Amino acid sequence: MTRFRGALLRKSGLPRPYAQSRPLEIAALELPAPGAGEVLVRIRAASLCRSDLSVVTGARPWPLPMVIGHEAAGSVERVGANVTTVAPGDAVVLVYLPQCGACARCAAGQPWLCETGVAANRKGELLTGGTRLVHRGEQVHHHMGLAAFAEYALVAEASAIRIPKDVPPQDACVFGCAVLCGAGTALNTAVVGASQSVVVIGLGAVGLSALLGAKAAGATRIAALDRLEAKFALARTLGATETALPEAAPRGAFDHAIECSGTLEGFELAMALAHRGGKVTTLGLPGPDAAYPLKLAPLVADGLTVQGSYLGSCVTRRDVPRFIELYRAGQFPAASLVSHRIGLEDLNEALDRLAEGRALRQVIEFAS
Ligand SMILES: [Zn+2]
Ligand SMILES: [Zn+2]
């Protein structure tokens, strides 16, 4: 039995400011020893993502109580039977969709849509079945198979991807969601090509990662759009060749429009920015009921491609090491995506900063 502290959500929909309503309680938790196919990970760093906020607001329903957090890095403490890809002492990045390798989508070469992994995540359970977290004798759910805002996490082997030990965990953690989703969308879903033009809408950590992915792909024109001009300097540092407010961006001008703002307006804008024959790729998640009226005549006559991107169409075992290599080559400066470094007990205040758009990634650093 491992005893430790973690961020427990009992009730969603509490009012802001969260610094006062305190939806996340730092609670005493327990985990059993890892079973077959499971790995006990000591979390070294974890970061806060907008999807965490949607659990707290209740915009998307999740089984509660739950320990939240789905973007983290750590070291392997113990492994259960039949675990072959990681061993105690290994450094790992945790990924929020365990890819089972056996379902129809995995077999078809689309493990980013793994049906078994998604089903387990929706139930707040592990890929290996059921929950393991316990708080005062009560079963607690795992957010995205990870429950990473805690000192320890018990995860399915497929949730933990080994990385080189010399990568600092406070840099590695953002690879689990922001970089996979952003860079993966540019490289895997949109398949940006050398010398192409790309516009990225929304300059949060995921949008900036999409920008880095477009640059790594060899795009020569990269426009970065946001409502906040304060975000432009960093975007230029990371490789944007132009920055603009949404209304000022040239229409019908880009091979690729990548929507990362998570708003309907952002998607509408993306549709207007791609040129005829261009590709619109969206990874933004507005509310579950957000709908867009698609005009079919221009879709056909302009030969547009419109597609969604989940997990950046990443094969996690292939792409985490691939993106970490780009990081080591200086092409993915992960620290640039981080605006705040906090402790576990600062999470409610961090949720306020996130909700108010005052933060990029906020990294929880755990004492070693
Ligand atoms: Zn995320
Ligand atoms: Zn699968």
The ligand whose atoms approach the alpha carbon of 204 most closely is 1
156 with 196, same domain: the answer is: no
Query: Do residues 194 and 287 both lie within one domain?
Result: yes
d(CA 355, CA 16): 9
Residue 250: DSSP 8-state: P
CATH number, residue 258:
3.40.50.720
pLDDT value, residue 141? 98
Residue 282 confidence (pLDDT) above 70:
yes
Q: Give the distance (Å) from ligand 2 centre to CA of residue 286.
A: 25
Domain match, 209 and 272 both: yes
276 shares a domain with 338:
no
Percent of the chain past pLDDT 70, that is, above it, reads 100
Q: How many folded domains does the chain comprise?
A: 2
Say whether both 268 and 163 belong to one domain. Answer: no
Give me the chain's average pLDDT, please. Answer: 97
**Complex ipTM, two decimals?**
0.98
Q: What is the CATH number of the domain that holds 15?
A: 3.90.180.10
**Dist. CA 146–CA 142, nearest whole Å:** 6
CA of 276 to the centre of ligand 1 (A): 32
249 and 133 co-located in one domain: no
**pLDDT score, position 289:** 86
Q: What pLDDT digit, counting tens, does each position of 11-39 carry?
A: 999 999 999 999 999 999 999 999 999 99
**Cβ(78)–Cβ(92) below 8 Å:** no
What distance in angstroms lies between residue 114's CA and the mean position of ligand 2's atoms? Answer: 4
**Rounded to the nearest whole angstrom, what is the distance from the C-alpha of residue 291 to the centroid of ligand 1?**
22
Q: Which domain holds residue 352?
A: 2-176+333-365
pLDDT-derived band at 368 (thresholds 50, 70, 90) equals low
Three-state secondary structure readout of 186-228 = HHHHCCCCCCCEEEEECCCHHHHHHHHHHHHCCCCEEEEECCC
With respect to residue 253, please indicate whether it lies within any of the assigned structural domains.
yes
Are both 271 and 150 inside the same structural domain? no
Ligand 2 centroid–CA 48 distance in Å is 26
Q: pLDDT category, 250, cuts 50, 70, 90?
A: very high
CA 300 / ligand 1 centre spacing (Å): 33
Inform me whether the pLDDT recorded for 187 exceeds 70: yes
Q: What is the pLDDT averaged over residues 55-78?
A: 96
Give yes or no for residue 59 having a pLDDT over 90.
no
